[in-house]
Amino acid sequence: MLVDIIMPKMGESITEGTIIEWRKKIGDNVEKDEIFLEIGTDKVDSEIPASVSGILVEILAEPNDVVDVGKVIGRINTDTKAAIEIPVQDRNEPIVPTETEASQMEKPVRKSTEKKLTGKRKSFFTPVVMKIAQEKNIPIAELDTIQGTGRGGRVTKKDLLAYLDDRSEPVPSSKLSMSDNIEEMEYMRKKIANHMRSSLDTAAHVHVMTEVDMTTIVDYVTAKEESFSSGEGFSLTYTPFIVTAVVKAIQRFPLMNCSLEGGNIVHKKNINIGMAVSIEDGLMVPVIEKCEEANFLGLCRRVRDITVRTRDKKLSPDELQGSTFSISNFGVFNVTMGTPIINQPNVGILGVGAIKKRPIVIETEAGDTIGIRSMMILTLGFDHQLIDGAGGSQFIDTVRKELETMNLERLF
């Protein structure tokens, strides 16, 4: 029986998906619940398991094709005996007399296909890998020598790109001129580019910055690091402190938790913080919902959980939607400051710089002194269509005060 493979619905607002990679080719056996297809949306990439066991007999959508949800993209034949003959029929073999069929079948490759294969192929290569190999003039024989990390030792796109990076080719002295290399943007990079461009076209971006003395929090994290790690199984980071300060600032300035829809201001009931997380192929912004209802330890656990699952690609599409305010911590890359782009439909985003020790003038009743303090620069990007400069300045200053005066002894 033929079973249709349809483009699945990956979330409530998802209407289409892009074929990233078929991990099986026509004629391959597919087991139930085996990952055989990878699909991407504007929210997340997902590995799709087979709903039935059988043989993949038809592929109707190729890699990079954009397909509407619910449309048929392939077919699996659950009757494996009937399906075995299908790949043979697709080879365009010439009709031969019945008495010579056996001898014809013993021939390894017909002459008409030898030129096309250009050598014996030991492995199946995806269209993406074949496309790159063609662009880089890599023969099949060389592809067969690459150690694959994919399922069953299959060479993946990452394997091939890593191989190209490691391979050193001497430049012939006769070809000293260099030409531009043009390649298509990755699927996720296209989505990020479109989202960022749309935000710049939608919001009137304004940025304000301030310095924060993080010395007290740094000392507290250092003192609690060992006991916290032994009790929770992961390290205490600065992110939950920043989220806590942001939540309190939003509660004082709720306009920062709104969004614009046409000429209307949408006041959000809950504070849902979007956390920008860097991954290997780009950036994702998973959402921590209802932060105002969580205590400090709860925020620590949720920040850890959402970060790990994002990098392990275990998020659901719904976890990438519904943010009301975003935080981008580029300080983890040792960057002091930046001007982040607002994550639509939010009206505000907080950029967090690296914490660095610097000599600072300390004002006391006895007079001014100079001391070494752990300082951090915060950047607030906000939409000037809704937030005035005074409101943005007051908001970021409130975040600063919350961080510098936080009652650390009552966190747990």
Q: Which stretches does DSSP call E strand in 25-172?
A: 29-30, 35-40, 45-49, 54-59, 66-68, 72-77
Write down the catalytic residue from 195, 205, 207, 384. Answer: 384
Asked if residue 331 lies in contact with residue 354, where contact means CB atoms within 8 angstroms, the answer is yes
The DSSP letter of residue 84 is T
Q: Is 388 an active-site residue?
A: yes
Q: Are strands 264-267 and 258-261 parallel, antiparallel or unpaired?
A: antiparallel
- For residues 184 and 171, what is the distance between their CA atoms, to the nearest angstrom? 25
CA torsion 243-249-255-259 (nearest 10°) is -10
| Residue 346: CB atoms within 10 Å | 26
Cβ contacts of 396 within 8 Å, gap of 6 or more = 208, 209, 210, 249, 350, 378, 380
Cβ atoms of residues 77 and 86 within 8 Å: yes
**Catalytic residue flag (residue 195):** no
Distance CA 277, CA 315 (A): 12
Residue 297, judged by CB atoms within 10 A of its CB (0-12, 13-18, 19+), counts as middle
Per annotation, catalytic residue among 65, 90, 219, 388: 388
Q: What is the CA radius of gyration of the chain?
A: 28
Q: Indicate the residue type of 189.
A: R
Q: Report whether 82 contacts 49 (CB < 8 A).
A: no
The answer to whether 351 and 330 are in contact (CB under 8 A) is: yes
Sheet of strand 35-40, all strands in order from the earlier edge strand to the far edge: 45-49, 35-40, 16-22, 66-68
Which residues are the active-site residues?
384, 388
